[in-house]
Structure 1
Amino acid sequence: MTIIFGLLSAFSYGYADFVGALAAKKVRALTVTVFSFSVGLAIALIASLFVGSDFSSETLRLGVMAGICSAIAISCLYQALALGPISIVSPFTAVLSALVPVIVDVSLGQKLSAFAGLAIALILIAVVLVAFVPGSKVRLPSLRATLYSVAAGLSFSGIFLILDATAKDSGLGPLVVMRSVGVILLFCALVAVWLRNRKKPFIETEIKNLKLIGLIFLAGTGDVIGNIAFLVATRQGALAIAAVLTSLYPVGTILLARIVLKERIALSQAVGIGIALGACVLLAVG
């Protein structure tokens, strides 16, 4: 179950990033994030009515912490991607977000089989290969971009660690609290951006476009499904495996770009996807 839901989480995050990126070409990325987070919150609330949720003091505390991490992670990730280069920033963030939970999980006594250990190493390599597109002029990220990327990776790993620490019988309670806090903080950030430049509208008029609304809805749906799938994955098995599988989200983004936008897949990306599939087989065997 951990492998299935870990991969579902990765694909959901990847497809959310893909449609979110398409929407961000029309309006501010922060605007897209606020609305997509709101959609995710609504879905989490509806799902919690069927799945159940607990809002104990511990759930509220962990949910608030995860919400703060989510707002920081998204904000820093967009800043890092904007500074670029994406081909280096993206895999670095993904690997860091997975590496920290693996180290923490193993240090706390989590036992992994030889197959699982090898698979984790291969997946981390695959993430780098999938996200990296070689070119004649490879530009290294600036110090500022690197710091934003590190902050994003550590914040994402913080989300993974916090969600893993929630009680198994808390249902979707931690997720509902996390999304609520995230929406509030990101909305405050949107207000702050508008106050710095009041000549531009608070919410772009393009947001009324039905196609754009659809993309934002899909982004919000994919993001919250990724959250739920990760929550299930980590409650069913080892955090290390769930976090590493989730870090494969660039695979979903790349494949969707190939299918929808007809973008070419580089040889290194194809090799990375092949390694990722082989690693998943190792996890299943181990």
Structure 2
Amino acid sequence: MLMILLAIASACAYGVADFLGGAATRKAKVFRVVAISAPASLAIEGLLLPVLGARWEAGSLGWGAASGAASAFAFALLYQALSIGPMAVMAPITALVSAALPVVVGLAEGDRLSATEIAGIPVAACAILLVTVKRSAGVGRVRPKAVAVAVLAGAAIATQLIMLNQAPHDSGVAPLIVGRAVSSLIVLNAAIAVRRRIDPGRPNLGLAAGAGCLDSLANLCFLLSARHGLLSVSAVIVALYPAATIVLARAVLKERISRAQWLGLGMAALGVTLLALG
């Protein structure tokens, strides 16, 4: 049950972080937001260091760095996918791939699922699809390149989670700190490289910093969840994070939730329940 609760906390934190990050980018380019959220996220992990400890061994350093690089590529690929293809198609592809790959890896590494967990995974996958799909009149034909980039974005997100899980389970927050430092360095260098093309809008400091802090907490909750249970189950629950985003958008921005998304929220609850009963 602790694994399930941590995975749910991770999904909620990722979903709220996406909401705050999206709100921050309404007034400024995403690289300006990242320039604030990246240091904030690293600071949060630094504050957790005395509480959770860290072992700076080769495994935690190497896997942490690999997860950080994957995180930076995931960020770039996701925004590239959304810029060349309709969000109504790109978002579900990315979310489903990010959930499916850890399941495959977990099963290959010896995860043993109960009957209820086996039933819960496809229910959760359908929930991911429903909550991320939005009706769009102008979708039309989707280019293969856009689909390929969306798949790569999902694979990069999955790789980040898989790499974090590979770090030694007694390494504390070391892989998180190393990963965040590497991803921040990559993204900030990219921002500096294109600074002349970034318009001068100033993001909301609180929103941008909040997104970074919550993203760090989401990574921590996922790592602890995977350490206490199965990668395949934790990753599927974490991939339900868009549900938290749309609920928050409804509560704060009064955005309409479609019937399909309501159905997706219901299926998400059912999927999590089945996984918890396992």
TM-score by length of 2: 0.95
**2:169/2:227 contact within 8 Å kept:** yes
Give me the whole-angstrom Cα distance separating, in 1, the residues matched to 2:35 and 2:234. Answer: 26
**2:131/2:265 contact within 8 Å kept:** yes
Give me the whole-angstrom Cα distance separating, in 2, the residues matched to 1:77 and 1:45. Answer: 27
Letter in 2 for 1:22: A
**2:127/2:265 contact within 8 Å kept:** yes
Structure 1 window deviating more from structure 2 (139-148 vs 116-125): it is 139-148
1:213 to 205, 209, 228: 205
Q: How far does the alpha carbon of each residue in 1:75-96 deviate from its partner, in whole angstroms, 9 at most, with x for none?
A: 1111212223112211211110
Superposition RMSD on alpha carbons, in Å? 1.4
Alpha-carbon distance, 1:244 to partner: 0.2
**1:36/1:216 contact within 8 Å kept:** yes
Give me the whole-angstrom Cα distance separating, in 1, the residues matched to 2:130 and 2:30. Answer: 26
1:236 to 201, 208, 228: 228
Alpha-carbon distance, 1:248 to partner: 0.2
Alpha-carbon distance, 1:39 to partner: 0.6
Instruction: Point out where structure 1 has 5 or more consecutive residues left out of the alignment.
Output: none
Q: Does 1:181 align with 2:173?
A: no
Query: SS in structure 2 opposite 1:171?
Result: coil
In structure 1, the partner of 2:50 is 49
Q: Within 5 Å, which residues of 2 pair with 1:50-65? A: 50-65=51-66
**1:88/1:140 contact within 8 Å kept:** no
Letter in 1 for 2:134: V
Give me the whole-angstrom Cα distance separating, in 1, the residues matched to 2:142 and 2:32. Answer: 25
In structure 1, the partner of 2:77 is 76
**2:36/2:205 contact within 8 Å kept:** no
**2:6/2:221 contact within 8 Å kept:** yes
**1:251/1:273 contact within 8 Å kept:** yes
Distance 1:260 1:84, change over 3 A: farther
Give me the whole-angstrom Cα distance separating, in 2, the residues matched to 1:34 and 1:185. Answer: 11
TM-score by length of 1: 0.93
In structure 1, the partner of 2:166 is 165
Alpha-carbon distance, 1:136 to partner: 4.4
Give me the whole-angstrom Cα distance separating, in 1, the residues matched to 2:33 and 2:50. Answer: 26
Give me the whole-angstrom Cα distance separating, in 1, the residues matched to 2:47 and 2:149. Answer: 34
In structure 1, the partner of 2:215 is 223
Q: Within 5 Å, which residues of 2 pair with 1:134-153? A: 134-153=135-154
In structure 1, the partner of 2:10 is 9
Give me the whole-angstrom Cα distance separating, in 2, the residues matched to 1:106 and 1:36. Answer: 34
Structure 1 window deviating more from structure 2 (272-281 vs 128-137): it is 128-137
The percentage of counterpart residues that share the same residue type is 35
Q: Does 1:116 align with 2:117?
A: yes
Give me the whole-angstrom Cα distance separating, in 2, the residues matched to 1:244 and 1:177. Answer: 24
1:265 to 254, 257, 264: 257
**1:89/1:141 contact within 8 Å kept:** no
Alpha-carbon distance, 1:153 to partner: 0.7
Letter in 2 for 1:158: T
Give me the whole-angstrom Cα distance separating, in 1, the residues matched to 2:141 and 2:247. Answer: 25
Give me the whole-angstrom Cα distance separating, in 2, the residues matched to 1:66 and 1:258. Answer: 32
Query: SS in structure 2 opposite 1:169?
Result: coil
Instruction: Point out where structure 2 has 5 or more consecutive residues left out of the alignment.
Output: none
Give me the whole-angstrom Cα distance separating, in 2, the residues matched to 1:67 and 1:135. Answer: 34
